[in-house]
Every structure is written in C-alpha cells, then in structure tokens.
Structure 1
Amino acid sequence: MDILVTYDVETLEPSGQKRLRKVATICQNFGQRVQKSVFECSVSQAQLEEMEHQLLRVIDLEKDSLRIYTLYGSRSKAVRVYGKDVTIQPHHKVS
C-alpha cells in the first residue's frame, strides 16, 4: 500500500532535535523524503505496523504530531506534483 507520512516535531529543546532526527531516520528506512517532513512510502501491512510502532516509541504525544495517510490507487493517480519530482524505489531497512 502507498502511504504519506507527515510529522511536526517540537525542536525547542535538544531532546526534540534528537527526536526529529530519529523520526526522519525511521521514515527514510521505509520510503522517500518528498519534502522536509513528508515521506511517500510503499509498504506492506506488516511494514506499516512496524513503522508505526517505531515512530510511536520516539515521538512525544504531548508535543509532536504524526499523520499517516493511506493513498488509494497508484501514486500516479493519488498524487499531483508540480515542480521537482524525483521518485526512487526505497530499499526497506526494517530490522
């Protein structure tokens, strides 16, 4: 399934900056960055559950925001892109 992952991590403190780096790394392991805090991912149900599990262990639910959208249909039908669009096939690094 194709998903869109977006996040906003509060970075006023060093702990927030550390969370931001961890969240970005997790997302990079499952998909490709298309904007600073936005990732497109093509994952199985099991990979989605693993990704959510990893992300929820990192984010602070009181300070941060995480959104995961399911894209129905192929990326080419679900996404309209204007401007630079580089699509790569991610290599899943799920441990």
Structure 2
Amino acid sequence: MVQLVLITYDIAEPKRLRRIAKTLESYGERMQKSVFECGLTPDALKSLTFKLERCIDPSEDSILIQPIHQHNRGNIRWQGKPPSIASEPFWIV
C-alpha cells in the first residue's frame, strides 16, 4: 500500500543540501524549494528514511516527514500558484 508523505527539510551545509534534494527527487515531486510530496510504500519509506539519516548532521540539520492521509488530500489549500503536481489527482493502485 502506498502512503502519501510530505517531506520538508532545513539543511545548513550546501553539499548536504544538494545530496538531500537529489535523493528526494528520486522518490517524489518537488512542491517548493525544500518541500517534497512522495507516494511511498512502507519499505520505500524505510529506505528513504535510512538514506536521509545518513546524509544529515543531526546537530545542524532537520527533516520532517509528515504523512498525509488520502481522505485529507482534498483539504490541502494553496495560496498563489500551486506546483503542477498539486492539481493532479493522486491514485493509489
């Protein structure tokens, strides 16, 4: 089963920042500069979490992984121009 998660990050060092962004680009869609939306299986989420933990310096960096329940996705509201992914339906297969 695929779970939708919103991942945000604040990374202090540019090299780590690029590594985090590149890792997340392979798992989901960039919504804003430091925000990704990913549809992940439990195993993929575990794998991604492990990869992200290895990339950060926990004394300087932070990553937030927030589940979004499918029934709440319709309640997400944007102000201004939303990214293209925000207007597309999300399907669980």
* 1:80 CA drift (Å): 1.7
> Structure 2 counterpart of 1:45, which letter?
P
Task: Write the distance in 2 (CA, Å) between the matches of 1:42 and 1:75.
Answer: 14
**TM-score normalised per structure 2:** 0.82
Identity percentage over the alignment?
35
* 1:61 CA drift (Å): 0.2
Task: Write the distance in 1 (CA, Å) between the matches of 2:26 and 2:56.
Answer: 16
C-alpha RMSD over aligned residues: 1.8
- The structure-2 alpha-carbon separation of the partners of 1:74 and 1:2, relative to structure 1 and needing over 3 Å to count, comes to farther
The structure 1 segments of at least 4 consecutive aligned residues displaced by more than 3 Å after TM superposition are none
Find the counterpart in structure 1 of residue 59 from structure 2: 62
User: Gaps (5+ residues) in structure 2?
Assistant: none
User: Gaps (5+ residues) in structure 1?
Assistant: 11-15, 90-95
- The structure-2 alpha-carbon separation of the partners of 1:75 and 1:28, relative to structure 1 and needing over 3 Å to count, comes to farther
Task: Write the distance in 2 (CA, Å) between the matches of 1:7 and 1:74.
Answer: 25
